[in-house]
Amino acid sequence: MLRRFEYSILLLLRLLVLLLCAACLVGVLGQKFGFLLNLSRTSGVVLLAFLLVYLLMTRVYGGFDIGKRKSKPIIFSLALTVLCADLASHLFLCIMNVTVVNQGRFVYEAPLLLLAAYLLQVVVIAAAAYLCNGIYFRFHKPLKCLVVTRRGEQVENLVRRVGRLKKQYAVDEIAYVDQKDLLQRVDDHEAVFIYNLASSEREFLIEYCYQQEKELFYSVEMTDIVALGGSRVLFDDKSMIHAPVKGLTFEQRILKRGMDLAVAGLGLLVTSPLFLITAIAIKLDDGGPVFYSQKRMTYAGRSFDVLKFRSMKVGSAENRSATKNDDRITRVGRIIRKFRIDELPQLINVLRSDMSIVGPRPEIVANVQKFTKELPEFAYRLRAKAGLTGLAQIYGRYNTSAKDKLIMDLTYIANYSVWLDIKLILCTVLVLLTPSESTEGFDAGKQPMVQPDGQEEK
């Protein structure tokens, strides 16, 4: 009975959390501004600002996704969403009080009350996330999952990643695409993961899973990127996918460059104290240089010198990628790598027009040449200017495979929009606040890249 109305119940829960968060804000601020507790123009504007920013930020960070995400990610993302909504609402309140209360003066009023309201909202969000996820998974057992791949393919990484969502998915078997009883194995499971099979190899399996109403997940290939970047069109009664040649228009280039200059300039201004502290810490740690530069490749194959804070010992002799507990990383380096502070000098590269704020990951020249031989489509990344942040930088890790990062870079290029750039910039904030997984290093003995200058590739 509950599953029949599951969508409606989850929708009501999301609405309830929104109303509770708004009530916390109005209720606490109403202790000083009593007119917020009554129907008035000011209370209406404040609530409308809260609602609009809340809904907009949930499009960026995700909402109250019960049953889809773990409780902690829900809490982190909603806490950031509510913070943005609170700040916007409070700002509108202060602006409207200029003429109503403060005789023409702007006063940033009651910041401690705003903080109290926010802390109360976080408590509400945390309690709701743990309670609702707990109830949801009491009624929903993990899906029994099958992984299908070709023989010799390494699937341990996928199984480990899926295993982190143990309440949603339970991988209990691995089958091979040439296995005689493959379809019987599919019938015995509720969900199927198709891993690293070419489009031609997986076509029959996708159709069979669709026919048998199985949950289906499959690796993204080049044909999928082209299709996902396209749109459906009709020629009378004939449906077709239109995949246009993607490229930024003149107007988009102007807008993107303007955004780069604004964000990089503001970023340098805001982080200048952090620049100074980091530089002093690196210098005091071992007396070596503060920065290091490295040749990277960007739009149309042009190379440039990327700037970073140095996080490894001077003269590190081993030309390999960083590993877990790598002894080449300095004490300060471990901290700045964990919080991505070592990437901040790239804001200077953005001002120089070497890079964009958002774009494909800037890759080492030697690695571009190496990976292009193994994956010819790797060269397609050079259709856009390299970026300080992007899909690969946000959702990838330092030990994510070259192919997986390539898929994310090409997905960004195929789906570029100004809104996507803004969304990725905002998502970067969440990554900086939850750094532990994104900074995971390679396991010893599994470094896929050779670094010509002895520094880490990131």
Residue range 182-193: mean pLDDT, rounded: 96
Q: What is the pLDDT of residues 334-349, one digit of tens each?
A: 899 888 899 999 999 9
| Whether 283 and 320 share a structural domain | yes
Q: What is the pLDDT of residues 394-420, one digit of tens each?
A: 988 767 888 999 999 999 999 999 999
Axis crossing angle, helix 6-29 with helix 41-61, rounded to the nearest 10: 130
How is residue 329 annotated by DSSP? B
| Whether 151 and 283 share a structural domain | no
Q: 407 in a domain, yes or no?
A: yes
Cβ neighbours for 133, distance < 8 A, ≥ 6 positions apart? 66, 67, 70, 71, 74
Q: 438 in a domain, yes or no?
A: no
Segment among 164-178, 261-275, 439-453 with least mean pLDDT: 439-453
| Whether 260 and 397 share a structural domain | yes
pLDDT of 150: 93
| Whether 133 and 158 share a structural domain | no
| Whether 288 and 384 share a structural domain | yes
The whole-angstrom separation of Cα 424 and Cα 402 is 20
pLDDT of 438: 52
| Whether 200 and 281 share a structural domain | no
Axis crossing angle, helix 418-433 with helix 41-61, rounded to the nearest 10: 80
- Write phi, then psi, for 366 (nearest 5 degrees): -60, -35
Amino acid code (one letter) for 309: F
Collapse the DSSP code of 202 into the 3-class scheme (helix H, G, I; strand E, B; otherwise coil) and give the result. helix
Cβ neighbours for 284, distance < 8 A, ≥ 6 positions apart? none
Tokens 């143990």 correspond to what residue? Answer: 166
pLDDT surpassing 90 at residue 147 = yes
pLDDT surpassing 50 at residue 318 = no
The whole-angstrom separation of Cα 260 and Cα 347 is 9
User: What are the start-end ranges of the H helices in 146-214?
Assistant: 156-163, 182-187, 199-211
From residue 175, how far is each of 150, 202, 214 by CA, in Å?
Answer: 8, 13, 16
pLDDT surpassing 80 at residue 291 = yes
| Whether 120 and 184 share a structural domain | no
How is residue 251 annotated by DSSP? H
pLDDT of 40: 86
- Please report which confidence band the pLDDT of residue 261 belongs to, taking 50, 70 and 90 as the band edges: very high
Mean pLDDT of the chain: 89
Contact by Cβ (8 Å): 175, 159: no
- Please report which confidence band the pLDDT of residue 244 belongs to, taking 50, 70 and 90 as the band edges: confident
Q: What is the pTM of this model?
A: 0.85
Residue range 279-297: mean pLDDT, rounded: 92
Among the candidates 199, 219, 239, a domain finishes at: 219
pLDDT of 100: 61
For strands 143-149 and 169-176, give the pairing.
parallel
Segment among 18-32, 103-117, 255-269 with least mean pLDDT: 103-117
Q: 232 in a domain, yes or no?
A: no
Among the candidates 197, 219, 241, a domain finishes at: 219
| Whether 274 and 405 share a structural domain | yes
Contact by Cβ (8 Å): 177, 149: yes
| Whether 265 and 335 share a structural domain | yes
CATH of the domain at 189: 3.40.50.2300
DSSP codes, 384-436 = S--EEE-HHHHH--TT--HHHHHHHHHHHHHT--HHHHHHHHHHHHHHHHS-T
| Other CB atoms within 10 Å distance of the CB of residue 175 | 18
Q: Residue 351: exposed, middle, or buried by beta-carbon count in 10 A (0-12, 13-18, 19+)?
A: middle
Q: 300 in a domain, yes or no?
A: yes
Q: 452 in a domain, yes or no?
A: no
Residue 36: CA atoms inside 13 Å, Cβ hemisphere, count? 23
Q: 231 in a domain, yes or no?
A: no
Q: Residue 16: exposed, middle, or buried by beta-carbon count in 10 A (0-12, 13-18, 19+)?
A: middle
| Whether 127 and 157 share a structural domain | no
Residue range 263-277: mean pLDDT, rounded: 95
| Whether 160 and 114 share a structural domain | no
Among the candidates 83, 105, 139, a domain finishes at: 139
pLDDT surpassing 60 at residue 128 = yes
Which of the pair, 280 or 329, is modelled with greater confidence?
280
Angle CA 313–316–321, to nearest 5: 100
Amino acid code (one letter) for 62: G
| Dihedral of alpha carbons 116, 118, 122, 128, sign | positive
pLDDT of 2: 60
pLDDT of 102: 66
Q: What is the pLDDT of residues 70-106, one digit of tens each?
A: 999 999 999 999 999 999 999 999 888 886 666 777 8
Collapse the DSSP code of 326 into the 3-class scheme (helix H, G, I; strand E, B; otherwise coil) and give the result. coil
Q: 441 in a domain, yes or no?
A: no
* Number of domains making up the chain: 3
- Please report which confidence band the pLDDT of residue 20 belongs to, taking 50, 70 and 90 as the band edges: very high
| Whether 396 and 414 share a structural domain | yes
Q: 17 in a domain, yes or no?
A: yes
- Domain that residue 28 falls in: 3-139
pLDDT of 313: 87
Which of the pair, 34 or 349, is modelled with greater confidence?
349
Collapse the DSSP code of 135 into the 3-class scheme (helix H, G, I; strand E, B; otherwise coil) and give the result. helix
pLDDT surpassing 50 at residue 317 = no
pLDDT surpassing 80 at residue 186 = yes
Q: What is the pLDDT of residues 353-396, one digit of tens each?
A: 999 999 999 998 888 989 999 999 999 999 999 999 999 989 88
